[in-house]
Amino acid sequence: MIEPDLRDRILAEPERLLEDRDVMNALVAANERALGDNIVDLRGIAMQRLETRLDRLEDTHRSVIAAAYENLAGTNQIHRAILQLLEPTNFEAFIANLTGEVAQTLRVDLVRLVLETVQEDSDSDPTLRRLGEVLRIAPRGFVTNYLTNGRNGAGRPVVLRAVTGLAGAFYAERADTIRSEALMKLDLGPGRLPGMLVFASEDTNQFKSTHGTDLLAFFAGIFERTMRRWLA
């Protein structure tokens, strides 16, 4: 027999038992044992299936909320980086800012801006040397070749991937530490060769082909329009 005090508490607040999943599972299990092995409790089976579906729904709900917060955080991060990108008042500061505040905001380990040229002696230009390691001058066709990893085709405007065999020559002394990269093709306007903005990370999972590219495509759109003004 149930102790009188416990019985009175249950009768006074029965809803507390219904809200406790562990207690309800124990009561259902006890009821099944009392029925014996030859009787199938369809209501108990239905409750188990409903409970399983509820667990799945809760997991999905948590995943959706987590994805929404992550997307919001990523959007805010890109917006801050764009505002920082627009602050410099001269081209040298604009380029230097890529490796400073912008890189810190986006939490990337390395930034490169690639500009194609047909001039063979462009590396000796003192103006370009003054801009530092962030700017790389490359021959015509380099951007498409790097984006497609040496394959034929135009390639996608934004590519997220683990580093490939081409990274060794591109990242030079940092090649041993860089593990993933985000590549953004830049349209610098009529009559100009394409460019490429590169975000690289030592984290293998920071840039993966399964990640969305909308925010980086938006950032690249702002960046290329700003570059057109500077180049003009």
* 16 and 85 together in one domain: no
Strand order in the sheet with 180-186: 135-139, 110-117, 195-201, 180-186, 158-162
3-state secondary structure 97-120: HHHHHHHHHHCCCEEEEEEEECCC
* 32 and 70 together in one domain: no
pLDDT attached to residue 109: 93
Indicate the residue type of 108.
V
pLDDT digits (tens, 9 = 90+) for 23-36: 777 777 776 666 65
* 50 and 130 together in one domain: no
pLDDT digits (tens, 9 = 90+) for 66-117: 666 666 777 888 999 999 999 988 888 888 888 889 999 999 999 999 999 8
pLDDT digits (tens, 9 = 90+) for 120-158: 655 555 555 566 678 888 899 899 999 998 887 767 899
* 26 and 88 together in one domain: no
Q: Is 163 helix (H, G, I), strand (E, B) or coil?
A: coil
* 51 and 106 together in one domain: no
* 53 and 114 together in one domain: no
* 145 and 40 together in one domain: no
How many domains, the chain? 2
* 41 and 98 together in one domain: no
Q: Are 182 and 160 in contact (CB under 8 A)?
A: yes
Backbone dihedral angles phi then psi of residue 177, each to the nearest 5 degrees: -110, -25
Q: Are 160 and 208 in contact (CB under 8 A)?
A: yes
> Nearest to residue 164, comparing CAs of 152, 177, 181?
181
Range of the domain at 9: 4-57
Question: Which structure tokens are listed for 222?
Answer: 């702002």
> Nearest to residue 195, comparing CAs of 104, 102, 98, 62?
98
